[in-house]
Structure 1
Amino acid sequence: MQNLNQLLSTLDGYIGGSDWFVYLLLGTGLFFTIYLKFPQLRYFRHALNILRGKYDKKDDEGDTSHFQALATALSGTVGTGNIAGVAYAIHLGGPAAIFWMIVTAFLGMTTKFVEVTLSHKYREKAEDGSMSGGPMYYMKNKLNMKWLAILFSIFTIISAFGTGSLPQSNSIASSINATFNIDPKLTGGFLAILLGLVIIGGIKRIAKVTEKLVPAMAFIYLIGALSVIFYNAENIVPSFISIFADVFTGSAAAGGFLGATISFAFNRGVNRGLFSNEAGQGSAPIAHASAKAHEPVSEGIVAILEPFIDTIIICTITGLTLLSSGVWNEKFENQFQTSDLNFLSVNYSDEKEQDRENLFQMLSGEKEMPLFSGILQVNNGKITNKNISALHARSLAEEIKIQINESPFTGILNVKDGKISDKIEQLSVSGKSLLHSSPLTAKAFTKGFFGESGKFIVSIGLLLFAFSTAISWSYYGSRAMTFLFGSKSIIYFNILYVAGFFIASFADTTIIWTFAGIAIAFMTLPNLIGILLLRKDMKDTVSVYWKDFEKEYGTKKLEETEQNA
């Protein structure tokens, strides 16, 4: 597992975690924002009117309404990215990461508008009678690049596991285990069966479930988050200031948090922003392609709302919850993930300024880590070696306890390059360190009006958020399978998808999140290339839409739409 995590981390560093990927993603959003004259601002009010069915026609072709398509797409994006992803971004990049998540979402509103419009425009009717669309169809039908369409479809299937199945199941099981002490395998098994029952009904059943699930889960989660923010009202303004103050300086060390560079906050904020709203990834267009509409632009305009709701509203509120509660830089008792634990051959203390500086440089990649190799002496669960220290979750671990079968361990452990090399079943390492992902958000929710009960809101919210994401991504994967092998192949994908959902419930969290970042990047690249090649087609399509709108509703209505926007 440790070797696998190292391999995946190295690969992620060249792709999703690289600077060039971040610049390509933001650059595409910025280009279309300017090229199409800020549609995320000009068409926002119009998007709300379309969503409530103001311009619907009885003969519109499709399988779902505008709202159902939006709910399905939102259920695919509003998930662990909003709860665990925001916490992970702050854990890695500090408060400034939230700023870059918001920037990513603002530009992503235009990217989403473009990819959804083009995918809807070139959708097809599948052999089972349902509407099938997504970037692979404009790649094939307009660009005549079937090889790119095939590549995108393969990456979509991989990403269905990397985005929709594995991290969602893992986050649910971890949160339920931390809150209710339920075995992750039991949680994963029960939800895997439930997932199978939902997705077997196809898009119509999925849409019926998500249109009810999305509003309910958002309401429950926001009530819990606001209870924390207003309980810590004196920290609201300082939290806002920290988000913007650290943008051009990097986040300084604070508490157990050892600091983050500008580039790291930028990179992780954009990366987690993409994981949250999926703008540019090409996933949401697959859901929107099923919507009833007589032309494609109206559905693209509806899609503008997704990054706004998902990231600018929900992720910002999560960020304020984490910052105002103060838990983001505090150490808490937790069970250590072995892939995230390193023993160092120097005894560091984060209370010493020089040690903090050295640790910061190590975590930033400026200095090499002095990894410990040798024998770890353990007596009654406590390490007796004097000149070593341990890093876990980018923080110095304290009060370390080593147990076997939940009893204190006594003996020796072999350590190689900072990692315990002995393969001992039921061996666990715990102690105090920073938290990240869903456990950090759960801890923040206990710092509000609901007290310790607040963690139940996170568990329930995460269960609903993540489960709905898994439902939607099963549909995305099935559409890719349909494109590649026909609709009869869906059953095989669904079986593997549900099996992966179960296995991930008890797998290593760090490895799963690293794999998710890689899967997202692989899927995003061909989609960004495709929409950039179709920039003129997009502009012409929007122009035709407004000309037809003016003919049907009159010049006055068009002017009102522009003024309201």
Structure 2
Amino acid sequence: MQAFLDSINQVLSGPIMVIGVILVGIILSFKTGFIQATKLGYTLKHTLGSMFQKKKKDQRGITPFQAVTTALSGTIGTGNIVGVATAVSLGGAGAIFWMWVSAFFGMATKYSEIVLAIKYREKGENQTYLGGPMYYLNQAMHSKLLGNIFALLCLASSFGIGNMVQSNAIADSISSVSNINTKPIIIVIAILIGFVIIGGIKRIAKTTEALIPAMALFYLVGCFIIIGMNISSLGDAFLEIIKSAFQLKPAVGGVAGFTMARAIRIGFARGVFTNEAGLGSAPIAHAAADAKSPAEQGLLGIFEVFFDTIIMCTLTGLVIVLSGLHLDGKLDGAALTLGAFEKYLGNFAAIFIAISTVFFAVSSIIGWSYYGETCVNYLFHSKKLVLLYKIAFIIAIYIGAVTSIDFVWGLSDLLNSLMMVPNLIGVLVLSNIVKKETHVFKVNLSIIKLRKSHKECVK
């Protein structure tokens, strides 16, 4: 069965799927006037600025920044640590460059997903909103079938990549630095996560609002310390990444030599599945935001991809490239990342990676719990089933941590690939709606600027 899953995954997550995702991103980039580039400065200013935004007493839903952190909690995960190392070990340093390219077009895809999610969301209970691909597939495309298919796949994925895979990584990371029994620790973690997700989206949002900046800062500081120790070699590291990205002939050394074609294939694949652009999961979190407009919230999705891939993945990649351990082909995956950090942080590296992994995994579990909850709500409209889902989800945390989950890994990859299909169809078909919303946003922004300019002239 495992071999069968692997063979299917090689097809679904292979070149055809990756090319499809990138092509959708290119089309959406043109449709939106490359908004990921023209409005990046605006996006960064308003995203980071909204960290300090006070929540209004009568606010429906969560703040836009809370929506970003909730979406990031599902996006940022062990892939930012292990996934980058896998890309470099298989595709060379040049794979990082092609991850940047995939992220650039992925920004347009995620922007479009969120625009549609905000436009076609529904009002829930307790001053909340509900939305996501299943809603715009049903309402805008008038395809209840595609909406149901997406919701079912996302619901199943929440137990796999969003839960058991992550809890297993937590157990492994704790075991790597200590011989203590991990079961009691996992039970405590499951209880704490349970307390958060039982409280619904508002408690989840408050938790991620505090957790995401803290865990990101911890990991960024570690990476910056290493980069600071090698500041004189930083230029050479970037040069290696760019040169390797356009290397036509196999390089000397490495497992099988790195070529441009291989770097592109691996870089695009890891980029797509790291920032989850096109997957359709993040729009579910963004739909809960008390957003000013669909395009305004969509811009925050651009930041999400930017931070996940351009910042977090790049820093991991730079540490690996600076270490030079990727060149001999002896290490890959988690071992390569750990080896690179150990070269500069010594014995503390194992603790640093373990803490980062636990942080990232816990955040992913919390984020994906809301995705699954929303899908249950969409499919069954039952409070009892939503509660039952949350209980089952909490139990699955423990099960994933104490069992071998090779099969779950394979099934999770399959479900994620299948999730993309209905979502990308929907985003592509509805791209003219995204184009219109983007145009309206740009016109309104120009009017606001003219009014400000006029007021300054009057003064």
TM over 0.5: yes
From the CA coordinates, give the structure whose radius of gyration is larger: 1
Partners in 1 of 2:375 and 2:265 — Cα distance?
29
Partners in 1 of 2:405 and 2:224 — Cα distance?
28
Instruction: Write out per-residue CA displacement over residues 278-301 of structure 1, whole angstroms, 9 at most, x where no aligned residue.
Output: 111111111111111242111111
Partners in 1 of 2:184 and 2:90 — Cα distance?
31
RMSD: 2.7
Q: 1:250 Cα deviation (Å)? A: 6.6
Instruction: Write out per-residue CA displacement over residues 182-219 of structure 1, whole angstroms, 9 at most, x where no aligned residue.
Output: 44544433322222121111111111111111111111
TM (norm. structure 1) is 0.74
Q: Map residues 24-103 of structure 1 onto 2, 5 A cutoff.
A: 24-51=20-47, 52-53=49-50, 62-103=60-101
The 1:494/1:56 distance shift into structure 2, 3 A limit, reads: closer
Partners in 1 of 2:366 and 2:326 — Cα distance?
30
Partner residue, 1:21: 17
Partner residue, 2:457: none
Partner residue, 1:504: 400
Q: Which moved more, 1:294-303 or 1:264-273?
A: 264-273
- Is 1:9 equivalent to 2:6 in the alignment? yes
Instruction: Write out per-residue CA displacement over residues 243-301 of structure 1, whole angstroms, 9 at most, x where no aligned residue.
Output: 2222243763536x343554443333222212221111111111111111242111111
- Is 1:152 equivalent to 2:150 in the alignment? yes
Aligned AA (1:524): M
Partner residue, 2:105: 107
Partner residue, 1:376: none
Aligned AA (1:254): G
Partner residue, 1:254: 253
Does the Cα contact within 8 Å between 2:176 and 2:350 map onto a contact in 1?
no
Does the Cα contact within 8 Å between 2:107 and 2:305 map onto a contact in 1?
yes
Q: Map residues 82-481 of structure 1 onto 2, 5 A cutoff.
A: 82-127=80-125, 129-233=127-231, 235-248=233-246, 249=248, 252=251, 254=253, 257-260=255-258, 262-329=260-327, 434-437=331-334, 439-448=335-344, 450-481=345-376
Partners in 1 of 2:423 and 2:210 — Cα distance?
30
Question: Unmatched 5+ residue regions in structure 2?
Answer: 455-459
Partners in 2 of 1:480 and 1:318 — Cα distance?
33
Q: 1:130 Cα deviation (Å)? A: 2.4
Partners in 2 of 1:266 and 1:512 — Cα distance?
28
Does the Cα contact within 8 Å between 2:60 and 2:127 map onto a contact in 1?
no
Q: 1:135 Cα deviation (Å)? A: 1.1
Aligned AA (1:544): V
The 1:99/1:507 distance shift into structure 2, 3 A limit, reads: farther
Partner residue, 1:483: 378
The 1:514/1:94 distance shift into structure 2, 3 A limit, reads: farther
Does the Cα contact within 8 Å between 1:228 and 1:447 map onto a contact in 2?
no
Q: 1:177 Cα deviation (Å)? A: 1.2
Does the Cα contact within 8 Å between 1:179 and 1:456 map onto a contact in 2?
yes
Does the Cα contact within 8 Å between 2:55 and 2:63 map onto a contact in 1?
no
Does the Cα contact within 8 Å between 1:28 and 1:111 map onto a contact in 2?
yes
Does the Cα contact within 8 Å between 1:127 and 1:487 map onto a contact in 2?
no
Does the Cα contact within 8 Å between 1:85 and 1:272 map onto a contact in 2?
yes
Does the Cα contact within 8 Å between 1:62 and 1:293 map onto a contact in 2?
no
Q: Percent identity?
A: 39
TM (norm. structure 2) is 0.90
Partners in 2 of 1:160 and 1:263 — Cα distance?
33
The 1:112/1:36 distance shift into structure 2, 3 A limit, reads: same
Partners in 2 of 1:93 and 1:498 — Cα distance?
37
Q: 1:61 Cα deviation (Å)? A: 5.7
Give the aligned length.
451
Partners in 1 of 2:186 and 2:426 — Cα distance?
37
Aligned AA (1:134): G
Partners in 1 of 2:8 and 2:183 — Cα distance?
29
The 1:58/1:231 distance shift into structure 2, 3 A limit, reads: closer
Instruction: Write out per-residue CA displacement over residues 377-411 of structure 1, whole angstroms, 9 at most, x where no aligned residue.
Output: xxxxxxxxxxxxxxxxxx7xxxxxxxxxxxxxxxx
Q: 1:58 Cα deviation (Å)? A: 6.0
- Is 1:545 equivalent to 2:446 in the alignment? no
Does the Cα contact within 8 Å between 1:56 and 1:293 map onto a contact in 2?
no
The 1:292/1:100 distance shift into structure 2, 3 A limit, reads: same
SS of 1:207's equivalent in the other structure is helix
Alignment match of 2:389 (pick from 493, 503, 508)? 493
Partner residue, 2:426: 530
Partners in 1 of 2:188 and 2:4 — Cα distance?
32
Partners in 1 of 2:151 and 2:103 — Cα distance?
24
SS of 2:71's equivalent in the other structure is helix
Aligned AA (2:354): S
Instruction: Write out per-residue CA displacement over residues 342-370 of structure 1, whole angstroms, 9 at most, x where no aligned residue.
Output: xxxxxxxxxxxxxxxxxxxxxxxxxxxxx
Instruction: Write out per-residue CA displacement over residues 431-452 of structure 1, whole angstroms, 9 at most, x where no aligned residue.
Output: xx63413x4323322222x321
SS of 1:62's equivalent in the other structure is coil
Instruction: Write out per-residue CA displacement over residues 72-119 of structure 1, whole angstroms, 9 at most, x where no aligned residue.
Output: 111111111211211222233222221221111111111111110110
Question: Unmatched 5+ residue regions in structure 1?
Answer: 331-394, 396-432, 560-565
Partner residue, 1:563: none
Partners in 2 of 1:183 and 1:57 — Cα distance?
42
Partners in 1 of 2:204 and 2:318 — Cα distance?
32
The 1:484/1:250 distance shift into structure 2, 3 A limit, reads: farther
Does the Cα contact within 8 Å between 2:279 and 2:420 map onto a contact in 1?
yes
Aligned AA (2:271): G
Q: Which has the higher relative contact order, 1 or 2, with Cα contacts under 8 A spaced 6 or more apart? A: 2
Does the Cα contact within 8 Å between 1:187 and 1:505 map onto a contact in 2?
no
Structure ranking higher in helix proportion: 2
Q: 1:321 Cα deviation (Å)? A: 0.8
Partners in 2 of 1:299 and 1:443 — Cα distance?
39
Does the Cα contact within 8 Å between 1:87 and 1:436 map onto a contact in 2?
yes
Structure ranking higher in strand proportion: 1
The 1:57/1:295 distance shift into structure 2, 3 A limit, reads: farther
Partners in 1 of 2:237 and 2:243 — Cα distance?
10
The 1:45/1:234 distance shift into structure 2, 3 A limit, reads: closer
